[in-house]
Amino acid sequence: MSDATPSEAELLKQIDACPTTGPGWNDVLACVLQHFGADSGTIHFLGADGLLHLTAASRGIPQFVLDTVRTVPVGKGMAGLAVERNAPVEACNIQTDASGDVRPGARATGLQGSIVVPIVRDGHAVGALGVANQRERTFTVGETDLLMRIGARLGEREKEEGRREKA
């Protein structure tokens, strides 16, 4: 990949070209982080137990925090709230956020500007895509819309891959 930020269409093509099984989710996350100039990210999916599982991908998250966010209840923390609300959850600075949406584990990352969007399939949240920066950041409406489109695309990709694996 070049250092140039790809256009939205190019980003979506890159994401579509990545496999979405095993380590392929890390490639998807890397494309998203590069496009948004972000320092870290996560992809959680809902498990049969009703919890969000960090089995897909993570990048730039300290190990001690990963141990805390490997499973996340729906409704807890930014990822759990994004899934519960089926809507983006954002914090310009998770270190100083007073909304109640940010949990202590998120603060332990040392990150600041963060957004988590639901990964959606058939209108329902089935996971969460989180993107964060080491500096304060407010994501624009356009950036949020693009992340929501990516979340919908990932939900459909995960559905297709799941069908292939079961066949």
Residue-range domain boundaries for the chain: 8-166
Residue 148: predicted pLDDT:
96
The pLDDT-based confidence of 84 (bands split at 50, 70, 90) is very high
| Of 1-10, 19-28, 113-122, the least confident | 1-10
As given in the structure block, the two tokens for residue 60 are 């730039």
Q: Which CATH architecture has domain 8-166?
A: 2-Layer Sandwich (3.30)
User: Residue 116 above 50 pLDDT?
Assistant: yes
Residue 164: predicted pLDDT:
34
Residue 73: predicted pLDDT:
93
Residue 98: predicted pLDDT:
55
pTM for this one?
0.85
Residue 2: predicted pLDDT:
45
SS3 at position 138: coil
Q: What's the DSSP call for residue 3?
A: S
| Of 3-7, 36-40, 132-136, the least confident | 3-7
Residues 6+ apart with CB under 8 A from 157: 15, 16, 20
As given in the structure block, the two tokens for residue 115 are 């957004």
Residue 136: predicted pLDDT:
74
Structure-token match 């996350």, residue found: 29
Residue 127: predicted pLDDT:
96
User: Residue 14 above 60 pLDDT?
Assistant: yes
